Amino acid sequence: MANLNLFNTQSNNLPACDTVNASGAGAYAYTPKHQLAQLAVTGCLNQTFYATAENQLDQVLKLVAELDSRFVANAAIYARQKGHMKDMPALLLAALTAQRSVLVPEVFGEIVDSGKMLRNFVQILRSGATGRKSLGSQPKRLVQDWLNRATERQLLQASIGNQPSLADVVKMVHPKPSEVWREAFFAWLIGKPVDVQTLPELTRDLLAFRSGASDRVPEVPFQLLGNETLSKEQWAAQAQNMGWQGLRINLNTLARHGAFEVPGCAEYVAARLADPEAVAKARVYPYQLLTAYRMVGDDVPAPIREALQDALELSLANVPKLEGAVVVCPDVSGSMGSPLTGYRQGATTTVRCIDVAALITAAVLRKQPAARVMPFEVDVVDITLNPRDSVISNAEKLAGIFGGGTCCSAPLKKLADSKARVDTLIMVSDNESWIDARRRGASETMLQWERIKRLNPQARLICIDLQPGWATPAADRGDILNVGGFSDAVFDVIEQFTAGRYGPQHWVEAIERME
């Protein structure tokens, strides 16, 4: 009999690999739109395991130059509003600005929705990375408009941070406000003499506290209070002034200063963290809550720890309950130990790709207790999870088993060998499969998926890529969806795809439909 690996009718019907991945193994290239979508919602502009920050930047700018500006604008809005990204939406907006796109005024307000985003946009544009260093008349006017519309509280919040500072931005664009208080605020911000009585109330309160003229702590971000020593009671009051995200980030700070020793403070913080409306409004990533839970010290009260778990469950409200036989395959190979948002000097996240893969797996298991979990690296790793355990408990158990090379076809082969029933298979990986590399023809992942399809014609494969890349081991087609991201927005795409309402390009279509 002739060699079946070379002369296999089924394998010859599959598309041959048309590129190589970062590991040099055969893979399937994303379309340009898919590549930009991938970068928009997973790109971190930092060094990752397989990509440098410079490579990501070059690829984004190349794609922006190739693609229709409307799609680029929609990708920026999607990345900000659905993916909750910060740097990538600002970069795409700056790139459109450098192109002098007529869409910039239309999308500016959809992307620049905070002082932080305003400063990101100005920083990127002024850096020259997108081809220009000056703001130009139109961007300058848009920044002026934001400054002239922002509330006093928004301006105070925006004044936290440097490179550029809000004062730097004001000096660049010279806003001409119509209100007396705003004109006085800008003058104070950039160090010009100003009549204190013309400043708005919160700013006056801040200056009075800083100077010692008042011992009443103003309702401003605590970072603005200067070097004044606050009492436990004053720190407890600060807990009420913080935004939801600020509260999540500063739990250890509050504990260190004794805020939770003040009666009622711990109960207030716990209730606020677990408030469904506040969680939704904060647009919090599930992994950010996992990080907060891990990072809180022993002096943070137990009710607050429990509230973080409750908030995590709330943040996963978009996880669909999938029908039929569901299999989840988290990649636990060595490369998944890299920081999710890349290496950044002095600010590298403690959350790894494996943590998010484990979190997504545990979330699906919570909604689908009968789901089969098959972690993989070179081979499938045996593990038993209790669906009734908390999402955090199961995620931590999964994240503790990583190491080894990447073989995305391993769980598929095991399912095909055992003739298992499969309706939906979700693979969470960095997609850099190399252990199963083939010299020609289709990828091993496609070959093994084809075996599963012969047994389960209705089966659908979803590959969630957690870090920016340009290739996948599973080619897009009617029963295969490649989607990138680590926010809960990805679950909506999964639900639509598994329900048969959209095809493999639904992710790109969802971006194209952004208003």
275: left (phi over 0), alpha (psi -120 to 50) or beta: beta
Statement: residue 48 has pLDDT above 90:
no
112: left (phi over 0), alpha (psi -120 to 50) or beta: beta
- Other CB atoms within a 10 A radius of the CB of residue 321 amount to 10
Check residue 277 and give its pLDDT: 92
- Angle of helix 353-367 relative to helix 286-295, nearest 10 degrees, comes to 110
Residue-wise pLDDT for 386-432, tens only, equals 888 888 888 888 888 878 899 999 999 999 999 999 999 999 998 88
Statement: residue 64 has pLDDT above 80:
yes
Rg of the chain taking only CA atoms, in angstroms: 25
**What is the token pair recorded at 233?**
């009671």
Task: Please report which helix (H) or strand (E) contains residue 20, including its range.
Answer: strand 19-20
Strand partners, 343: 47
Statement: residue 348 has pLDDT above 80:
no
Statement: residue 350 has pLDDT above 80:
no
Check residue 10 and give its pLDDT: 52
**What is the token pair recorded at 476?**
């897009």
**What is the token pair recorded at 38?**
């991938």
Mean pLDDT computed over 221-245: 86
Statement: residue 469 has pLDDT above 80:
no
Check residue 504 and give its pLDDT: 61
Statement: residue 289 has pLDDT above 70:
yes
Check residue 353 and give its pLDDT: 87
Q: What percentage of residues in the chain have a pLDDT greater than 70?
A: 93
CATH architecture of 316-512: 3-Layer(aba) Sandwich (3.40)
Check residue 228 and give its pLDDT: 67
Q: Is-contact 53 456, C-beta < 8 A?
A: no
